[in-house]
Chains A and B, each alone.
Chain A
Amino acid sequence: MPAIVVAGLERAFGEVWAVQGVDLEVDEGEIYGFLGPNGAGKTTTVRMLTTLLLPTGGQATVAGHDVMREARAVRASIGVALQEAALDPLMTGRELIRLQATLQGLPGDEGKRRADDLLERVDLAAAADRRVGGYSGGMKRRLDLAAALVHEPRVLFLDEPTTGLDPVSRKTIWEEVRALNDDGTTVFLTTQYLEEADQLADSVGIIDSGRIVAEGTPEALKAQIGHPHVQLQLAEGSVAEAEEVCARIGKLLPPKDGKAVLVEVENGAADIPRVVRALDDAGIGVESLELVRPTLDDVFVAKTGHHLEKDDEGDAEPEAVEA
């Protein structure tokens, strides 16, 4: 029986449709990666699947229970680590896990035992009796993860588990997720990092603007795209000219930033000499050239026309400064 089944799931906030008809299925024991840029609808979807938000349309079943009609049964079967690590800075790590155990209905001594085990497992045994307010970002995430596991849930939801973490902390979380999955836990994780989806997920669902645009194993998705592309940094000459030249050899891809030129080439490495010669003939100097194999970002671009990981061009709204 699939661990998660979603059919036509929708959520509107007034006029805005955050999720517009999502269909997906997650098998038991699978790691499912929900990949998409900021604002794509990932968090909204997770909140609906974890009964924190009611869908405005469609259906979803988690661990065999309907999220709208059997919410309590769903809550008893799932573990959740949300984006805003829902922690109380005044509590100690141990107190938090024991509280979580109580919330799940576990007897006191059982909760105590599991807290000890879990804290050991996520390497927080030393900091267990210090207040959470003093934990680093990585420690808070590990604690959140440990708390989500206290009742040994069948399905684990992780909303952007490594956003904002340093590479070492990220690796630690990844290892822990793999270990959990080896024990049989189904994992539904959302991420904006394609490497995370690529590395961890058995299946990936790519979401953009509230809709799933692609779904499958990472390998299958990348194979769909098929062709590698050449990435050029120019030493001299204009980008526009270079693009014109390259367009005659292969398919031009939207640039990631203003300086590189990306062109898809059918024959892979064999096409490189053609590119170099053509540019040379046009008097355009190349500083560096790289053959890049398809990534999930390429899949994303193919389906949506823009990149998954953009360079930050002031997307954040400026702080309202009083005139």
Chain B
Amino acid sequence: MESAATLPQWRANLATIAALMARAKNELLRVPGAAIPGVLAPTIFFLGLNGVFGALTQLNGFTTGSYESFIVPVSMLQGAGFTGAAAGVNLARDIEGGWTDRLLVSPAPRWVLLAGTVLSASARALIPATSVFLIALLLGAGWPGLDGLLVTYFMVAAMAAVAACWGSALALRFKSQSAAPLMQAGMMGLILTTTAYAPLALLQPWMRSVAEVNPVTQVMDAARQGFVGGVSWAETWPGVVALAALLALLGAWALREMRRTAV
């Protein structure tokens, strides 16, 4: 029995990624209220951080008088981390329920299956990011300029991809949703041990040391540019490199775990 002609591999791969992304949107559109926690948590954190620690801008060394402007990128990136980790939790759920078997038994290449999860997380992260951004504007944060905004959104999407790789690797490794707290805590730790609360000089010595080696600090500073000043390539490229490195590392790990699911 002959099978009908199939598409050339590259087209089949693209079609598969698109189909998996289409499925992922069902979580948001077909489950009432599902979008709320993802949007609410970063927004609440933003409002809370601002209300609680806002006075920090009075300290010498703060480059801006508006704490809202300072922490907008923090909450936007947190939303990215949360969304990516949640993608990992969903993958764990799919593995537990047997859905992932359907994908694994098909001839689709493993990287294609991973790309579906990661790219949809990137896209989804734009939602909480926008929510935080709009609320920040309402509260008086400065307009970052179109270039600043684009840089920030780029960082958000890429950070979500990084978080999705992290979450997916854990999901494939432990094949259980009980790894969820680790997925979330890991990203939270990564994003907040940076110049999140204050500029580098004002961090406590131990935190400063950590932030200096944490690649996400570059991402944070790059994403913050437009909100606290002007945008320059010199300030942007370190963030891009940091994200590329994290994506390469965590992506490779996730892919390895995806390929090892049969063990």
Do A and B touch, yes or no (CB under 8 Å, in the complex)? yes
A residues sitting closer than 8 Å to B (CB atoms) are 50-54, 71-73, 75-76, 78, 80, 82, 84-88, 90-91, 95, 98-100, 102-108, 110, 131, 147, 151-154, 183-185
24 contacts between A and B (CB under 8 A): A51-B262, A73-B107, A75-B105, A76-B107, A80-B105, A84-B97, A85-B98, A86-B101, A86-B102, A87-B99, A88-B26, A90-B26, A91-B26, A98-B19, A100-B102, A102-B15, A103-B102, A103-B108, A104-B106, A105-B6, A106-B4, A107-B7, A131-B30, A185-B1
* B102: chain A residues within 8 A (beta carbon): 82, 86, 100, 103, 147
Q: How far is the CB of A293 from chain B (nearest CB, A)?
A: 38
A88 adjacent to B23 (CB under 8 Å): yes
B185 lies within 8 A of chain A by Cβ: no
A86 adjacent to B99 (CB under 8 Å): yes
Q: How far is the CB of B175 from chain A (nearest CB, A)?
A: 12
* B106: chain A residues within 8 A (beta carbon): 75, 100, 103-104
B212 lies within 8 A of chain A by Cβ: no
Q: How far is the CB of B197 from chain A (nearest CB, A)?
A: 39
Tally of contact residues, B, Cβ under 8 A: 33
Q: 10 additional contacts, CB 8 Å, given A88-B99, A100-B106? A: A71-B262, A72-B109, A73-B107, A82-B98, A84-B98, A86-B102, A95-B23, A104-B6, A105-B12, A152-B2
Contact flags B18-35 to A (C-beta < 8 A → 1, else 0):
010001001100110000
* A147: chain B residues within 8 A (beta carbon): 102
Q: How far is the CB of B216 from chain A (nearest CB, A)?
A: 33
Q: How far is the CB of B257 from chain A (nearest CB, A)?
A: 14
* B7: chain A residues within 8 A (beta carbon): 105-107
Contact flags B66-99 to A (C-beta < 8 A → 1, else 0):
0000000000000000000000000000000111
B16 lies within 8 A of chain A by Cβ: yes
Q: Which of A80, A95, A99, A103 is the most central at the interface, judged by chain B CB atoms within 10 Å of its CB?
A: A103
Q: How far is the CB of B219 from chain A (nearest CB, A)?
A: 33
B127 lies within 8 A of chain A by Cβ: no
The one of B3, B15, B99, B101 in contact with A151, judged by C-beta atoms closer than 8 angstroms, is B3
Q: A157's closest neighbor in chain B, by CB?
A: B105
B101 adjacent to A82 (CB under 8 Å): yes
A86 adjacent to B98 (CB under 8 Å): yes
A106 adjacent to B6 (CB under 8 Å): yes
B31 adjacent to A152 (CB under 8 Å): no
B36 lies within 8 A of chain A by Cβ: no
6 A-B pairs with the lowest CB-CB distances in the bound complex, closest first: A84-B98, A105-B6, A103-B106, A105-B12, A86-B102, A76-B107
Q: Once bound together, how far apart are the Cα atoms of A82 and B102, in whole Å?
A: 9
B105 adjacent to A90 (CB under 8 Å): no
* B12: chain A residues within 8 A (beta carbon): 102, 105
Q: Once bound together, how far apart are the Cα atoms of A88 and B4, in whole Å?
A: 26
Q: How far is the CB of A43 from chain B (nearest CB, A)?
A: 11
B49 lies within 8 A of chain A by Cβ: no
Q: A54's closest neighbor in chain B, by CB?
A: B262
Q: Which of B16, B19, B98 is the most central at the interface, judged by chain A CB atoms within 10 Å of its CB?
A: B19
Q: How far is the CB of A149 from chain B (nearest CB, A)?
A: 11
Q: How far is the CB of B75 from chain A (nearest CB, A)?
A: 29
Q: B94's closest neighbor in chain A, by CB?
A: A88
Q: How far is the CB of A13 from chain B (nearest CB, A)?
A: 11
B105 adjacent to A108 (CB under 8 Å): no
B263 lies within 8 A of chain A by Cβ: yes
B150 lies within 8 A of chain A by Cβ: no
Q: How far is the CB of A211 from chain B (nearest CB, A)?
A: 23
* A72: chain B residues within 8 A (beta carbon): 107, 109
Q: How far is the CB of B119 from chain A (nearest CB, A)?
A: 15
Q: Which of A72, A90, A147 is the most central at the interface, judged by chain B CB atoms within 10 Å of its CB?
A: A90
The one of A51, A73, A91, A104 in contact with B23, judged by C-beta atoms closer than 8 angstroms, is A91
B240 lies within 8 A of chain A by Cβ: no
B203 lies within 8 A of chain A by Cβ: no
Q: Once bound together, how far apart are the Cα atoms of A50 and B19, in whole Å?
A: 23
A102 adjacent to B1 (CB under 8 Å): no
Q: Once bound together, how far apart are the Cα atoms of A147 and B103, in whole Å?
A: 12
B200 lies within 8 A of chain A by Cβ: no
* A185: chain B residues within 8 A (beta carbon): 1
Q: Once bound together, how far apart are the Cα atoms of A142 and B262, in whole Å?
A: 27
B105 adjacent to A52 (CB under 8 Å): yes
Q: A82's closest neighbor in chain B, by CB?
A: B101
The one of B3, B4, B99, B105 in contact with A51, judged by C-beta atoms closer than 8 angstroms, is B105
* B263: chain A residues within 8 A (beta carbon): 54
Q: A99's closest neighbor in chain B, by CB?
A: B19
Q: B13's closest neighbor in chain A, by CB?
A: A105
B179 lies within 8 A of chain A by Cβ: no
B23 adjacent to A103 (CB under 8 Å): no
* B16: chain A residues within 8 A (beta carbon): 102-103
Q: B99's closest neighbor in chain A, by CB?
A: A86
Q: Once bound together, how far apart are the Cα atoms of A104 and B15, in whole Å?
A: 10
* B104: chain A residues within 8 A (beta carbon): 51-52
